[in-house]
Amino acid sequence: MKTQLIALLLVSCIISAILDGALAAPAKKKIKKGGSTIIGHAIYVYAEMASDIPVFTKQIKDFNAGASAEHQLRTVIVYAGEVPFDGSKFEPHELFSSTVKGFHNAKLPGVTIHANLDADLGDGGDPILKWSNSKIDSQVKMLCKFICADPNVSGIHLDLEPFDVPYTTKLLRFYTTMSSQLRGSETGCRNAAHPDGREITGYVDNPSAAVFKALGPKGTLIWPGYDCTRSPSSVEAYSKAFRDSMTNNLLDVVKNMPAGQNAKFMIAVPAAATDIEYQHTVKGKQLVASGRKQFSATGPSYITTAVNNVHELVKGYDGYAGMVLWKLSRFYTIGSGGKKLAPAGAFDIPGERDWLKKNLRRLTHHRHHGGPYRPIFQLDYKKPSSANEFLLWNSKGFDTTERPFDLFIILLRLYHRILHLSDNAVPALQASNNTQAIAITFCTVIIVK
């Protein structure tokens, strides 16, 4: 009897391994020309002088050349200008077109370019509160027509802050129309160079199901993992605030999203100075230490803490698409009150670039929609007693015990796995009615035997 049970268990494990392989290695999709979907990490880029452009393109080229595929930067988010809400004409940043052209001419393999449109609604944004839906739509179409006229731009990034009352309703309309226009041909966003349209990303620190819906099927929400405390604080305090905010404001929302609704997200991390997390204050030509580290290979630092927190917290969330580095720029970051902060660029501190090359990996646990993945043989309940322990399947292997195997539980787990395959699994193994019938028959026959 024991020999038969062991044989049946091995069969179950083999089938589970096959299914695991199908889930972990989904069928590769052919990327069409001009495809704009974000497939890895991204970085914000702010050029202040024309001479910055070749410096930035070389930095990203060198970074990707020394990084494996899961660590590479795949999207550059180039500053395009401020969205006007006072009725004036949109004026792109003077170096936007040159920066896009510079990155395109650099021919960085697998790297796409997005246009970054921002606005401080608290400083001149109130007119939008009186705009009709048709006026919002008109403004969005104007922006899309301008950005999509450049075939080298694969998407638009919106950073309209605050995404909160009293602006929420108007911004949801803005996002919804932008998403629709970028997928369509009315303003030239879907064309021969971009047959699937362009991508939309949105910087939102307090996401909701409504925001994800507004971003649409091709949209990605970027959640800021910085400025997490009200004032500069220790790295330890930053870490706690980061974890609490990411869990409560982002992951709990993603976990409870309606089935079938897009919930793709990325996490922006402080690889350079932010308003709250910075290493130095710039005083003339002097750098005044804040007592905290932007990067350190041996001690607490903002970027290492942020990256490690992301890796730990997003495991198993199938909407996770990667990290966004804040940022590439020169000289200094301008903080609140006009204060000058450093480091200005993500790769300014020795050792940071090499650390990110090895640690900026993208986890690829594509399992059930929303919440974390559970291994098929991980029992949800605790071991009842040492005299009645079960066979557990975990990442370390098998743990056999003196008692007979709880084969019934194992088979139920296998049945559950068959019926709940990821959307990313190969089509032949997705849970159709026939698959369900096979699963039920398979488990029933073994249990009866």
213-269 pLDDT per residue, tens? 999 998 999 999 999 999 999 999 999 999 999 999 999 999 999 888 889 999 999
Same domain, yes or no, for 273 and 348? yes
pTM of the model: 0.75
Q: Tokens 């909701």 map to which residue?
A: 208
pLDDT given for residue 87 in this prediction: 84
158-191 pLDDT per residue, tens? 999 999 999 999 999 999 999 999 999 999 999 9
Full domain range(s) for residue 390 = 2-25+375-448
Out of 310, 328, 359, a domain closes at 359
pLDDT given for residue 259 in this prediction: 84
Same domain, yes or no, for 344 and 420? no
pLDDT given for residue 12 in this prediction: 52
Out of 359, 383, 399, a domain closes at 359
Same domain, yes or no, for 386 and 443? yes
Same domain, yes or no, for 296 and 400? no
Same domain, yes or no, for 330 and 389? no
pLDDT given for residue 51 in this prediction: 98
Hey, what are 292's tokens? 């905290």
Domain membership of residue 32 (yes or no) is: no
Mapped onto helix, strand or coil, the DSSP state of residue 172 is helix
pLDDT given for residue 437 in this prediction: 45
- Could you tell me the end-to-end alpha-carbon distance of the chain, in angstroms, rounded to an integer? 11
Domain count, the chain: 2
Same domain, yes or no, for 312 and 435? no
Same domain, yes or no, for 60 and 187? yes
Same domain, yes or no, for 21 and 45? no
Residue 15 has pLDDT above 80, yes or no: no
Mean pLDDT along residues 25-44:
54
Same domain, yes or no, for 347 and 280? yes
Same domain, yes or no, for 407 and 270? no
Asked if 389 contacts 383 with a C-beta cutoff of 8 angstroms, the reply is yes
Out of 359, 384, 402, a domain closes at 359
Complete DSSP assignment for 26-91: PPPPPPPTT-----SEEEEE--SSTTHHHHHHHHHHHHHHTS-GGGSEEEEEEEEEEPP-SSPPP-
pLDDT given for residue 318 in this prediction: 86
Domain membership of residue 127 (yes or no) is: no
Asked if 42 contacts 77 with a C-beta cutoff of 8 angstroms, the reply is yes
Mean pLDDT along residues 71-95:
96
Same domain, yes or no, for 91 and 204? yes
Domain membership of residue 352 (yes or no) is: yes
Cα separation, 357 vs 65, in Å, equals 10
Nearest CA-CA partner of 117 in 77, 66, 166? 77
Domain membership of residue 215 (yes or no) is: yes
Same domain, yes or no, for 188 and 283? yes
CATH of the domain at 150: 3.20.20
The per-residue pLDDT of the chain, averaged, comes to 81
User: Phi and psi (nearest 5°) for 147?
Assistant: -65, -45
